[in-house]
Amino acid sequence: MAEYRLGQAAELLGVSVDTARRWADGGRIATQRTDGGHRLVEGAELARFLTETVPVAENDSAGAQSARNRLPGIVTRVVRDSVMAQVEIRSGPNRIVSLISREAVDELDLAPGVLVVASVKSTNVGIERPGPR
């Protein structure tokens, strides 16, 4: 299972580390401590928190972005059928939905809580996993 340092989780949530720390201290988001005392958030917990508490931004502007946007985010839902799959991602307050082949989802080992980068070009959204797996 993917785990994220509290700073990484804060960045993915679109909040400051202090806010993420307050949420953890208040029990809004579950964390675990490493042997060194650092806080970790499990990917599934981050996906749960995103879908339950962070509102999705309304897209009220168009044309202000480049044609090749790369949006880091957390997978919150994967729905597979025999050929295709629907992958939902939360990147800060943004909800991104991509329809890709089931084979691609299986090869990328996508599941709720996994860190991904959504690459947006025109009407297509591709998904990649950053760094080594």
**Is the pLDDT confidence value at 61 over 50?**
no
Structure tokens at 4: 């994220």
| pLDDT tens column, 90-128 | 988 889 999 999 999 999 999 999 999 888 876 677 788
**Is the pLDDT confidence value at 63 over 50?**
no
| The pLDDT value given to residue 27 | 93
Residues of the chain with CATH 2.40.50.100: 69-128
Residues of the chain with CATH 1.10.1660.10: 3-53
Beta bridge partner(s), residue 127: 118
- Predicted TM-score (pTM) of the model is 0.61
Q: Which CATH architecture has domain 69-128?
A: Beta Barrel (2.40)
> CA 103, CA 112: separation in Å to the nearest integer?
17
Of 96, 93, 92, the residue nearest 110 (C-alpha): 96
| pLDDT tens column, 2-43 | 899 999 998 888 888 999 999 999 999 999 999 999 999 999
What stretch of H or E contains 24? helix 17-25
Structure tokens at 25: 């201290």
**Is the pLDDT confidence value at 56 over 70?**
no
| The pLDDT value given to residue 58 | 59
**Is the pLDDT confidence value at 66 over 80?**
no
Q: Which CATH architecture has domain 3-53?
A: Orthogonal Bundle (1.10)
| The pLDDT value given to residue 7 | 92
CA torsion through residues 19, 22, 24, 29, sign: negative
| The pLDDT value given to residue 109 | 93
Give the pLDDT band of residue 54 (cuts 50, 70, 90).
Answer: low
